């Protein structure tokens, strides 16, 4: 028996390092607007609230003044176009992800993805990285429902798609948003130390912190033993 019936993952900065493709698209827009590039280190602090929030924060950090809403809208539309053209060219799953997901599946654990990334891009990235078969229909992007993280209903909907209940599930993420979502749904949460967050991973308030996906199975077992 698996320690949890379902484990739900964030995508960007948790399952995969997607920043290279995000920045490729984002910095095309920056160049078109005659704004400086967003660095990898800076980009890690901007991801988590969804693509629109990413665009808004990038523009706020680089533009000399507040841009009018129509300009932000146009920049966001171009960013999505560029990103959809190359959603998984430079991105890679983190070390140990494939092995960890395979092990959980072999143990009978259901798997899901709960992310604020646009739903269509989520599906394309998962497919492009060879991760889609692990999750089936238990995947919901930020625009798939009328709510999204940190609203507990987003996470609960993913868990329901996996055919289980919140009381038998755990979450793995990399940000304050992920921890807040899990807390709202009363679900144990594990944070990764290598993801995208402006806050130090140890300060996220997760139930456990892992440095590599090779630690995930034992960490889930420990959390289950404390319940």
What's 83-143 look like in SS3?
HHHCCCCCCEECCCHHHHHHHHHHCCCEEEEECCCCHHHHHHHHHHCCCHHHHCCCEECCC
Active-site residue flag, 211: no
Evaluate whether 186 touches 193 at the Cβ level (below 8 Å): no
Cα-Cα-Cα-Cα torsion 186, 93, 5, 102, nearest 10 degrees, comes to -170
Looking at the annotation, which residues are catalytic? 10
């Amino acid at each position: 028996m698996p320690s949890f019936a379902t484990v739900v993952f964030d995508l960007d900065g948790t399952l995969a390092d997607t920043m290279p493709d995000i920045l490729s698209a984002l910095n095309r827009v920056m160049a078109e607007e005659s704004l400086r590039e967003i660095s990898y280190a800076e980009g890690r602090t901007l991801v988590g609230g969804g693509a629109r929030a990413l665009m808004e924060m990038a523009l706020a950090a680089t533009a000399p003044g507040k841009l009018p809403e129509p300009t932000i809208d146009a920049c966001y539309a171009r960013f999505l176009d560029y990103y959809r053209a190359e959603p998984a060219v430079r991105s890679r799953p983190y070390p140990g992800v494939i092995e960890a997901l395979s092990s959980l599946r072999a143990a009978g654990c259901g798997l899901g993805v709960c992310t604020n990334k646009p739903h269509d891009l989520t599906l394309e990235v998962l497919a492009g990285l060879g991760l889609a078969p692990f999750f089936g229909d238990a995947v919901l992007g930020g625009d798939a429902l009328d709510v999204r993280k940190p609203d507990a209903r987003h996470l609960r909907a993913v868990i329901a798609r996996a055919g289980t209940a919140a009381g038998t599930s755990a979450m793995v993420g990399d940000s304050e948003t992920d921890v807040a979502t899990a807390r709202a749904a009363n679900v144990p949460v594990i944070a990764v130390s290598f993801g995208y967050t402006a806050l130090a991973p140890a300060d996220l308030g997760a139930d456990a912190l892992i440095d590599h996906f090779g630690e995930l199975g034992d960490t889930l077992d420990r959390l289950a033993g404390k319940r």
